[in-house]
Amino acid sequence: MIRNGLLAMILCFPVTVAARAQDGPAKPIGQFLTVHSPIDDSVTSRIRNVALDLVGKSERDNRPAILVLEITPGASPFHHVQGLATLLSSVRLAEIRTVAWVPETVTGNKVVVALACDEIILHPDAELGDISLGEPLEDPQRQFVQSLVEKRRNAKVNWALARGMLDRNAEVIKVTIKGQDTPAESRILSVKDLPRIRDNNPGATIKVDTIKEAGGRGAFSGEQARALDILVVQTAQARAEVAAIYGLPRRAMREERITGTEPVARLIKITNMIEPTLQAFFNRQIQRAIVEKANLLIFEIDSPGGMLTVAETMANDIASLEERNIRTVAWIPREAISGAAIIALGCDEIYMAPGARIGDAAPIEMKPGMPFERAPEKVLSYTREVLRTLAEKKGRPPGIAEAMADKDLEVFQVVNRETGDTEFKTEAELHGAAAQFGDKQPVPETRADNLLTVNGRRAHELSLAEPPVSGIEELKQRLGLSPGVVLRAVERTWVDNLAIGLSGSEAAFLLFFFGSILVYLELYTMTGLCGIGASLCFALFFWARWGQTAGWLEVVLFMLGLALIALEIFLIPGFGVFGLSGGLLVFVSLIMASETMSGSIGIEGLARFERPTLTLIGSLATVVVVAAVISRYLPSLPLLKHIVLEPPSQEELAFDPRLAGTVESTALLESDHSLVGQSGSAVSVLRPAGKARFGENLVDVISDGPFINPGTTIEVVRIEGNRVIVRQS
């Protein structure tokens, strides 16, 4: 078996080489990146990520890779410049060609970044040089520049030239040596090297040209450098010309979105089973991060999966953070299986430990008392569409993502003949593609009756994830976070547990019940305590759902409903349009606050509101029953009978001289507008309605201002229909 396997490998290799030979030289892959100012850890991290990705693609596709850094003007701390230059000249990036593209004049520390690249391309009018800006560098900085240049990654730059760009007092010359039997040779030297050259070349003709005088800036334009054959390999007017020089496709000039030079990171853990309680905690943490102006969210995922609908919602919520210019990263130290894999696909980037696993997202059904079963085809098709949509949105191979859920979907590795890129396509995608592809090789993990599950290394090879990282420290480095940044995962606090507990349907039932009963008791007792309790119940109801299913719309509708009910009770007699409208608004606002309003407004969309509607209806029915019991027994309870308001009995009306009067006088007062301005006294508390005495007549009145205590002198302000409006004198 081993011998046959070796033979297969030997036979396959020449076929690949032959295919390459038939297609012609391998086309290079590349990427343009702009080096903004100031250079910091995030800039270096971004360049490192793209460079390592190019290294991986170059090795996998056996194609040359080119990283073009567009260097812009601006100042940067030397230690950050040194870090980036060290990266560019490191052995890790030796497999790719680094090019510095300078479209505008660049001076100062950033010139060192250009010197660290393999090649430099300048705009004809742009200048590059004057590293020290007239101030001498410290010895360690100077030694670093010297060691960097002496690596001779750029054949057009040596230490004599770099020293002239570094030190304004240095003089740089170009020496052309022509021997009797040898062709002319040019060298860039310092003046002190000239005697040695003459001693080593006796009889030769030596021509000396000064290219930088002592006291000069040591900056060279593209046109000058090209004429002197120093510093640059080419000049170019625009980025497109640079791409043409190296044969890079136009898409290489497009840069990915960045979130800013100062990452504000937050770490959110997604562990254990994926279910609604975890989703509620997840939503609260995202809202906190947004309030704290975070622009980098790291989701540490370690989960075997869970509910499909919850995982889909969480993945879409993460994907939508792109609209807020928030960078999202999935960090998988152990596993992201099933629904957890779906959540990871919603992130902009996925980083995995080398041995971590991702995949196996096939939907299953769990019925009481029965083992797990695979979901029907309708659910599988829906899951495949979810995976495909997330993969396309984040630039990952859709077929690879779908193969996590479909055990019979086969994916092939092919080479795009137009671009030379390695791609992963299903049979259907190959048939519908406009581009031409080479021979297709099946991806082993998508063989028949197998759900795609891969480790961190293989996920990177399949373009699902970034190059694997060993741990959180390397992840911080890759993300541009300084070593001093401590990523502490936010754990659930008692506030989170309280909010999660209050967001359930059982809590909604109790909060609505107690809130309504306390309102009813407040109307009976008018102590204010029950009103405060009712306000607290409804405030907790909205607080637990704030930022998830509840927002300002629901709160405004609820407050408007209460205002209409108050108008009906205190100002407008009877129970009509205002009361009904207010009650309906309160009920609708509570329903809206219990469920997300997104999605279609069809039968399926409205079905989501069935449970909260039934919950509130059940709570309302319970309120009616309990209110009836309260109205029957509360006035007779020994502890509460002295604070409960109830109308006076017939005996009290007969023997209380304060309430004595004629009914006819009340009617006369109500119809006699000449009584406006007449003074009287309040008999009962006006809240705002109550009774008042004017002479011998007892009248129903309404206060035009605050509550009025019994015995207070009042006067009639106006009469509106059958309402007598009074105020305190």
Q: For 375-427, what is each residue's pLDDT tens digit?
A: 788 888 999 999 999 998 888 999 999 999 999 999 999 988 777 778 899 99
CATH architecture of 265-407+451-478: Alpha-Beta Complex (3.90)
Residue 9 has pLDDT above 50, yes or no: no
Radius of gyration over alpha carbons of the chain, in Å? 40
Q: How many CB atoms lie within 10 A of CB 325?
A: 11
- In the chain, domain spans: 28-166+219-253, 171-213, 265-407+451-478, 501-636, 650-728
Alpha helices in 151-298 (DSSP H): 159-166, 194-200, 222-228, 239-246, 276-291
CB distance 387 to 411 below 8 Å? no
Higher pLDDT, 709 or 300: 300
Q: What's the pLDDT at 521?
A: 75
265-407+451-478 matches 28-166+219-253 in CATH topology: yes
Residue 576 exposed, middle or buried by CB count within 10 Å (0-12, 13-18, 19+): exposed
Distance CA 170, CA 187 (A): 16
CATH architecture of 28-166+219-253: Alpha-Beta Complex (3.90)
- CATH number for the domain formed by residue range(s) 650-728: 2.40.50.140
The gap from C-alpha 595 to its chain's centroid, in whole angstroms, comes to 23
The gap from C-alpha 725 to its chain's centroid, in whole angstroms, comes to 58
- Find the helix or strand (DSSP H, E) in which 453 lies: strand 453-455
Using pLDDT thresholds of 50, 70 and 90, give the confidence band for residue 260.
very low
Q: What's the pLDDT at 15?
A: 33
Asked which of 212-216, 286-290, 356-360, 498-502 is least confident by mean pLDDT, the reply is 498-502
Q: What's the pLDDT at 42?
A: 81
Q: Of 276, 340, 337, 346, nearest to 315 (Cα)?
A: 346
Using pLDDT thresholds of 50, 70 and 90, give the confidence band for residue 248.
confident
The single residue listed with the structure tokens 């407040």 is 522
Q: What is the mean pLDDT of residues 564-574?
A: 69
Q: What is the mean pLDDT of residues 694-715?
A: 82
Residue 278 has pLDDT above 60, yes or no: yes
Distance CA 90, CA 71 (A): 19
Using pLDDT thresholds of 50, 70 and 90, give the confidence band for residue 554.
confident
Higher pLDDT, 561 or 494: 561
- Find the helix or strand (DSSP H, E) in which 315 lies: helix 308-320
Please state at what angle helix 610-633 crosses helix 505-525, rounded to 10 degrees.
Answer: 30
Q: What's the pLDDT at 198?
A: 84
Distance CA 290, CA 297 (A): 10
Distance CA 130, CA 388 (A): 52
Using pLDDT thresholds of 50, 70 and 90, give the confidence band for residue 576.
low
**Greatest mean pLDDT range, 111-125, 207-221, 667-681:** 111-125
Beta bridge partners of 453: 359
Distance CA 579, CA 25 (A): 81
Alpha helices in 70-138 (DSSP H): 78-88, 111-115
The CA-based angle 588-594-599, given to 5 degrees, is: 90
The single residue listed with the structure tokens 């509360």 is 634
Distance CA 697, CA 718 (A): 17
Beta bridge partners of 286: none
Higher pLDDT, 14 or 418: 418
Q: What is the DSSP letter of 395?
A: T
164-191 pLDDT, tens digit per residue, is 999 999 999 998 888 777 788 888 888 8
Q: What's the pLDDT at 640?
A: 54
Tell me the one-letter amino acid at 282.
Answer: F
Asked which of 11-25, 73-87, 512-526, 653-667 is least confident by mean pLDDT, the reply is 11-25
Higher pLDDT, 491 or 706: 706
The gap from C-alpha 540 to its chain's centroid, in whole angstroms, comes to 28
Using pLDDT thresholds of 50, 70 and 90, give the confidence band for residue 110.
very high
Higher pLDDT, 595 or 516: 516
Tell me the one-letter amino acid at 90.
Answer: S
Residue 507 exposed, middle or buried by CB count within 10 Å (0-12, 13-18, 19+): middle
Q: What's the pLDDT at 455?
A: 95
CA distances from 468 to 15, 330, 429, 457, 586 (A): 31, 12, 28, 6, 53
Q: What's the pLDDT at 373?
A: 67
Q: What's the pLDDT at 662?
A: 42
CB distance 349 to 53 below 8 Å? no
Q: What is the mean pLDDT of residues 136-143?
A: 89
Using pLDDT thresholds of 50, 70 and 90, give the confidence band for residue 668.
very low
Q: What percent of the chain has pLDDT above 70?
A: 81
CB distance 716 to 672 below 8 Å? no
Backbone angles phi, psi at 229, to 5 degrees: 60, 45
CB distance 361 to 339 below 8 Å? yes
Higher pLDDT, 603 or 386: 386
Strands 97-102 and 119-122: parallel
CB contact set of 3 (below 8 Å; sequence gap of 6+) = none
Average pLDDT taken over every residue of the chain: 80
CB contact set of 224 (below 8 Å; sequence gap of 6+) = none
Distance CA 118, CA 108 (A): 20
**Greatest mean pLDDT range, 281-290, 543-552, 601-610, 614-623:** 281-290
3-state secondary structure of 417: coil
Q: Of 310, 551, 451, 422, nearest to 20 (Cα)?
A: 422
Alpha helices in 414-551 (DSSP H): 427-432, 456-461, 472-478, 494-502, 505-525, 529-545
Distance CA 679, CA 691 (A): 14
Residue 469 has pLDDT above 90, yes or no: yes
Q: What is the DSSP letter of 207?
A: E
Q: What is the DSSP letter of 546?
A: B
Tell me the one-letter amino acid at 523.
Answer: L
Distance CA 267, CA 330 (A): 10
Q: What is the mean pLDDT of residues 693-710?
A: 81
Q: Of 33, 467, 83, nearest to 239 (Cα)?
A: 33
Strands 453-455 and 357-359: antiparallel
Q: In what order do the strands lie in the sheet with 185-190?
A: 185-190, 172-178, 205-212
CB distance 239 to 101 below 8 Å? yes
Asked which of 107-116, 240-249, 652-661, 668-677 is least confident by mean pLDDT, the reply is 652-661
Look at the chain and count its residues.
729
